[in-house]
Amino acid sequence: MTGLFTGVLTKTNADTIADDPCSMVYSQLIESAMANPTVNAMVKANNVCRFDYAKNETFPIKDDISTDDLPELTLVPTNYSHVKTSSCHSTVTVIFQWQIATGDWRLSVKLFPLLHHLTVAMNHVSRDLSKLEYNGAKFFLSSRVGDGVCGIDDPTANRNIRGWSATLPITVQMKFPYYLGEQ
């Protein structure tokens, strides 16, 4: 997987399940995060739990964790809402959540640097999301990084991982003309 993360979603670097807008956004969020040099240096490609590979035959979250598997970075969707905004358009809002497991008790070694650089990447992700097209039309409206939550892992609940963990939400809003939904 070396060289996989280029920062821009293309058919050559993302083997996505589908070409629907939510899948494209999901893949682009990961590409943009891993294009950040510090995030890429801190999190090995094998420690990014992706749910968007069509050829993934195994569940991407590992059951048995070793120190080489940390820090671990996972992106999951947590909310999806569709609103008819006019007679011509509808808006879809999806909240994704980054989940970070550091396996380290020291805040300044993994947690804070990773949170900072992931936030920087997500604050600049709109430039990449604005390039995405669905059926020939751009659909991205906005993205916003929300308030994260940090805490110490409960090893009995989180695969024996000890250390700091965090979640960081990012909300993405998309707008679609109704004719796109008819295809």
Distance separating alpha carbons of residues 117 and 135, to the nearest angstrom: 33
Q: Which residue from 142, 121, 101 is spatially nearest to 30, judged by alpha carbons?
A: 121
Mean pLDDT, residues 146-158 taken together = 83
CA angle, 179 then 127 then 183, to 5°: 15
Tokens representing residue 93 in the block: 């809002």
Tokens 């020939």 sit on residue? 136
This prediction has a pTM of 0.83
Tokens 């980054």 sit on residue? 98
Highest mean pLDDT among 38-42, 101-105, 173-177: 38-42
Weakest mean pLDDT among 34-43, 77-86, 123-132, 143-152: 77-86
In the chain, where are the structural domains located?
21-181
What pLDDT, in 10s, does the model give residues 94-122?
A: 999 999 998 888 999 999 999 999 999 99
Q: 21-181 adopts what CATH topology?
A: STM4215-like (3.30.2000)
Give me the amino acid identity at 66: S
Do residues 24 and 134 touch, judged by C-beta distance below 8 A?
yes
Q: Which residue from 149, 138, 143 is spatially nearest to 26, judged by alpha carbons?
A: 143
pLDDT at 63 over 70: no
Per-residue pLDDT, 46: 85
